[in-house]
Amino acid sequence: MQTDFTHASTLGITIGGEAFAHQLCHCVLPYSNWEWATVCQSESLPALRRGVQSALFELGRIPSYHQTDNSTAATHDLRTGKRGFNEEYLAMMNHFAMQPRTTGIGEKEQNGDVEASNGVLKRRLEQHLLLRGSRDFDRVEDYEQWLCEKVRAGNRLRTTKVSEELAVMRPLIVNRLPEYREETVLVTSWSTVRIKRNTYSVPSRLIGENVRVHLYEQHLEIYLGGILQLQTERLRGEGGHRINYRHVIWSLVQKPGAFARYRYREDLFPSLTFRRTYDVLCEHLESRRADVEYLRILHLAASTMESEVERALEQLLDAGQCPTAQAIKPAVTPEQIEVPELEEPAVDLSSYDGLLTAEAVL
């Protein structure tokens, strides 16, 4: 089996209307040209692990050799100047009992079958997208499911040669490997964690806890005591951040003076309406008082319904009034349900006693 990564942004795929920059991890059996592809964001080891074992479980058999180019997902520089295999990659090869091979450095033609198949696959997907009439998908999972259906359809045209290959391959009798890396990180007093040089907010109840993080190719999961606390999309590159105001508002309301210097302050405006609200507060109140009032509004959005808070703010702004937390609170406070008083019924066991008496007579 040959495996290679190929950029797929030229397909023009969008997810929910937004451009989706991505790659495909492409696996090919050179004799039959049977292939498999998975969506990924980078040429990382988790992406390679997911792509290879997804292909093997789709195939149901294991080839003797697995060949890649000298990408950092599988190899790394040694002091000798040569390329050696990463320990994690070798562990995957040992798990599936495949022998790893690489092309010579700068010898891409040695992986020529999958290299050529990259272009063929993308041209075929382009034709299917034209027939579909849309390049937009609701979710990444929907796009990948569509991709798998088209790849399977192509593989059905290669059954004769695939049968010859399957006949000489070993059966797949091992379980899937975890498709994530695990790290343990400390949640800061600002309800954030630092993962791969990117910052994520987490629920404030986790402050001060050491949490376990499962880093998948496209998302990460945060656990405490074996219980999933948060799942969020994984950031790419370094120096990024993903802050959910619902996670940090509880800390900020206790230290309102920190709002003016908060590093991720722009993330605390869920919509343009909230941004306008803060600007109007700054026009009517002195800066510290405006910060306190806005944090109270944000706290109200986090503890009730953001959409209802936003609607109430829009009404006040359109009316030219200063949008304070006290002014919108009646509009978003849930109605108190009156519990009716029920009269406790009297319990009469005489009929039951009558049954016992009748039973004794019988």
How sure is the predictor about 30, in pLDDT bands with cuts at 50, 70 and 90? very high
Weakest mean pLDDT among 37-41, 312-316, 344-348? 344-348
HSE at residue 14, side-chain half, CA atoms within 13 A, is 8
pLDDT of 106 over the 70 cut: no
Weakest mean pLDDT among 177-186, 252-261, 269-278? 252-261
Q: Which residue has the tokens 């004794």?
A: 360
pTM: 0.72
Instruction: Report domain 2-171's class.
Output: alpha beta
Distance CA 312, CA 329 (A): 9
Under 8 Å between Cβ of 122 and 129: no
How sure is the predictor about 360, in pLDDT bands with cuts at 50, 70 and 90? low
Per-residue pLDDT reduced to its tens digit, 128-187: 999 999 999 999 999 999 999 999 999 999 999 999 999 999 999 999 998 888 999 999
pLDDT of 83 over the 80 cut: no
How sure is the predictor about 349, in pLDDT bands with cuts at 50, 70 and 90? confident
**Count of Cβ atoms closer than 10 Å to residue 306 Cβ:** 17
pLDDT of 355 over the 70 cut: yes
pLDDT of 126 over the 70 cut: yes
Distance CA 16, CA 301 (A): 25
pLDDT score for 69: 83
pLDDT of 79 over the 60 cut: no
pLDDT score for 45: 86
Weakest mean pLDDT among 58-62, 73-77, 178-182, 225-229? 73-77
pLDDT score for 208: 93
State the average pLDDT for the chain: 89
Report residue 280 as tokens.
């109007």
pLDDT score for 111: 72
Per-residue pLDDT reduced to its tens digit, 110-125: 677 888 999 999 999 9
pLDDT of 97 over the 90 cut: yes
pLDDT score for 76: 72
Q: Which ranges in the chain are annotated with CATH 3.30.420.10?
A: 2-171
pLDDT of 72 over the 90 cut: no
pLDDT score for 256: 81
How sure is the predictor about 33, in pLDDT bands with cuts at 50, 70 and 90? very high
φ, ψ of residue 237 to 5 degrees: the values are 75, -155
For the residues 210-219, what does the mean pLDDT come to? Answer: 91
Report residue 200 as tokens.
């994520």
φ, ψ of residue 45 to 5 degrees: the values are -65, -45
Residue scoring higher pLDDT (57 or 87): 57
For the residues 288-307, what does the mean pLDDT come to? Answer: 92
